[in-house]
Each structure stands twice: as structure tokens, then as C-alpha cells.
A and B are shown apart, each in its own frame.
Chain A
Amino acid sequence: MSLSHLADEDLMQLVRRADAAAFEVVYERHSTAAFSLAYRMTGKRATAEDVVQEAFLSLWRSGARYDRTRGSVRTWTLGIVHNRAIDALRRATVHDKRRASDEGLEERFEARERTDVEAGRREEAREVRAALEMLPDDQSRVIELAYFGGFTHSEIAEHLDTPIGTIKGRMRLGLRKMRGQLAGMAEGMA
């Protein structure tokens, strides 16, 4: 059986044994999602490339720590990308990055819809986006500032001139609503 037919979790068993070919398949499967997240967060292609490179090399080097009981390879990978992107954002003295908005990304390469799996993910993405958009603005805003902007709740509170407790409450309410709407789908992503 070729590597491309193996499940992510089986590929990670090989990555653990320093199998570069297996790692390349993992990269192929998840690099677009990783780059999309990194670019959404940093707003700069060069920074996003650095983040993705750091994240995948970290994944390659720490493959032995992957624990399938704690989530999918995709979730684990995107978690690493998210943490690395936050590090990159917080290393900057000011959050002066150009944000990647949904309508103004002339530089963006549109990822091709290559497989049924990709098409399925697009559908999931539409559902998640809809769930986020259904939230009251004050809740979706703090979630986006925190998750994609890399801001701490203290920074968001200061920026919005709102008590920290209120910010934390909005985050929690928003996530709980999203969780409710995505209940069926989220089980599959965990």
C-alpha cells in the first residue's frame, strides 16, 4: 500500500521513526490549511511561510509526542501553527501587521479544490463560518481578535475599553454558541 493511502495516524507512526516520505505526505495533506491559518493570522506571506516552516519542522522533530487520543493530526498540526503564529505576532513590538481580510487579498493564491476531501472541508468551512457569523458582533469580534489576532484578553479589554471580565464572558458565550451549532460536526474534527 502506498503511503498516500495511509491514515494520518498511521503516517505519524512512520514519522516517529524518522520516515521522511511519510512526513511529506502529512505535509501535502495539511500544508494548505496550515498556511491559510498562518496567513490569516499574520497577514504577511513571508511571515506565514516562516510560521509554517517552523511548525512543520517542529512536527517532524516532535512526532513522537503525537497522541491520537487527544485529537486528529490536523488539529494537532493547526494547534502548532496557531501557537507559532501567536509567538510571531507577540514578538513584534506592535500589532501593525496588515490583516488578511476576506475581501482584500490580492496576493493570495487560491488553493485548488483537488479532491473530494478538500471539497468536504470547504463545506465544513462554510458551516463554521456561518456559525461564527451568526454570533452577536461583540462576541465574534473578541473571538477573532483573540484567535486570529493573537491578542491576550487584557489587550483586547484595553483596546475595546471594556472590563476584562466582560471580554472573557463574551468569548465564552460565543464559543459555547458555536459549539452548540457545530455539535455534530465538531465530533468528527476532534
Chain B
Amino acid sequence: MTNCEHIDTAASYVLGALPDPEVEPFVAHLATCAHCRREVAELTLAANALPLTAPPAAPPPELRGRIMTVVHSEAELLAAAGPEADRPPRPAKAKRAGLRERFGQVGFSLRPAVAALAAGFLVAVGVAGALVATRDDGTQTVPAAVKIASAPNAAATLTTDRGGHSQLRVRNMPQAGRARVYQVWLKRRGQRNPTPSTALFTVDRTGHAEVSVPENTKDAEEVLVTREPDGGSDAPTSPPVIVATKS
């Protein structure tokens, strides 16, 4: 039963102690080695019991509130959007399939991003007509909706010149969080899903930042901001915290 040179790696694998570059080769090995598969299954039973040894600690009650606020919001949006909400658009089928696969590996689904961006759209509709300042040279400034419950004073504006060069200004924004950055996204006309901008930013101590969007925003309907892991993401992994709808 132990006549495989990789058998000791099974323990490291089930404990989550395999260095990242070694995970994929070992998973591939499992597909061909019944000894290691059996070993992983056996050791997993022991590893699954380990959380029970953690000293019991109750989560703070407000954590439940924070989580359920997001859950209720997404549930309502999904209900409002109907059964089509979670279906990828046909033209982007191949790309979406790839993304689903990728997110599947890290325990995430595209559904929330779609729902969250729908939420952003609804909020943006509410503010779009509120105020648009246009200068003589055609530069327009629109207020953006900031969706951070813990930061009621946070605000953002998007200024765009005739050439499609945009600058986002934010103030009173909370920090993006440890190992997180804010990332800008462009939702272009006719596209259901936003495309990533290379604009990543953090805010200073006062919650202030001015961000130039490197990509041309001429054909963008919305400029969005989400919180993402350091280095940014190819697809949103969290709901938008800022939604600016261009006039």
C-alpha cells in the first residue's frame, strides 16, 4: 500500500501544507495513483477532525449582521433579475467558461459579481440625473454612488474630458484592507460584464485619492470600483463600492 514515492506527500496535501507550485502536480498524480488516493481519503478523515481542537470562540453578533446584509441584498437582486441573472451572455461564452473554471478553483462563483454589478447599475440610475457639471471645454463631472455602509461620508466624482480621459476623485473612503486594493472597471456599451482597468489605488490617511484611468472611457457607460486582492483581478471578486454613470 505504500509503494509509491509520493505517499508521504498525501499528509502535507490534506493539511494544506503543500507549497503552491507542488499542488497541481500532486493533484495530477492523484488521478493516476490509487495508493495515494486511498491515503488522501484516509488522512482526510483525521484532518477534518482537527478544527474540533480549536478552543471555542463565539463570533461577535455584528458579524452576522454584516454578512446577512450582503446576503439579503444579493438575494433580492437575484430574485428581481429572474432566472436569466446567472446566465452568461452568448457572445462571451468561451471566456466566461474559462473564468468559471478559474473561480471554481478558489471557491467563488461569478453569480455574485453579476448580481452586484446589477446592484451598482440600479444605484447609478438613481444618481445619474442628479447632477452633471459641464465646463465650456466639454469636460463633464458626475457624482458617483458610494456603497459602503460603514462610510456614510464617503464620496466620489468622475471627471471626463471630450477625449475620453477620466479621473476619479474619492474622499472619506475607508482603507481597502490588508493585502487589498481598489480596482477600477469599465462597463462599456453593449457589454454585460465590466472590463478591468489597470488603475489600482489605495487611499491616504484621510481617505482621499485621485486616480487617472489609463484606458479610454469614451464608450464606457459606467466606471466601477471594487475591492480586490493586491495586484488586481481579471474579473470582479466583490461587489462594486463605487459606481459612476457617465451622462
Contact = CB atoms under 8 A, between A and B. Distances in A.
B83 to A, nearest CB: 10
- Interface magnitude class on chain A: 35 or more
Contacts of A81: 51
Interface string B28-60: 000000000001001101111111111111111
Nearest to B71: A20
A182 B45 contact: yes
Given A35-B57, A36-B51, A105-B55, A172 B45 contact: no
A95 interface: no
Contacts of B55: 36, 40, 100, 102, 105, 108
B111 A172 contact: no
B243 interface: no
Contacts of B45: 179, 182, 186-187, 189-190
A171 B75 contact: no
Contact of A154 (B14, B19, B71, B79): B19
Nearest to A20: B75
A36 B56 CA distance: 5
Interface residues of B, number: 54
A126 to B, nearest CB: 9
Nearest to A85: B16
A10 interface: no
A32 B177 CA distance: 24
A33 to B, nearest CB: 6
A18 B75 contact: yes
A32 B56 contact: yes
B10 A172 contact: yes
Contacts of A175: 11, 14-15, 43, 46-47
Contact of A147 (B10, B15, B57, B66): B15
- Tell me what chain A mostly uses at the interface: helix, strand, loop, or mixed: helix
Interface stretch (B101-109, B123-131, B133-141): B101-109
Contact of A62 (B53, B64, B107): B107
Given A52-B59, A53-B67, A154-B19, A182 B11 contact: no
A190 B41 CA distance: 10
B12 interface: yes
B220 interface: no
Interface in B145-203: 177-179
Interface string A54-90: 0011101110110000010001001111110010000
B224 interface: no
A71 B18 CA distance: 22
A145 B71 CA distance: 34
Nearest to B77: A18
A44 B179 CA distance: 16
B11 to A, nearest CB: 4
Contacts of B228: none
9 contacts: A31-B59, A35-B57, A60-B74, A61-B109, A91-B230, A143-B50, A150-B16, A152-B19, A175-B15
Which A-B residue pairs are the 7 nearest by beta carbons? Answer: A40-B54, A146-B17, A172-B11, A171-B11, A35-B59, A168-B8, A186-B45
Given A65-B104, A78-B48, A152-B19, 8 more contacts: A45-B60, A61-B108, A124-B49, A125-B56, A147-B15, A147-B47, A168-B9, A176-B43
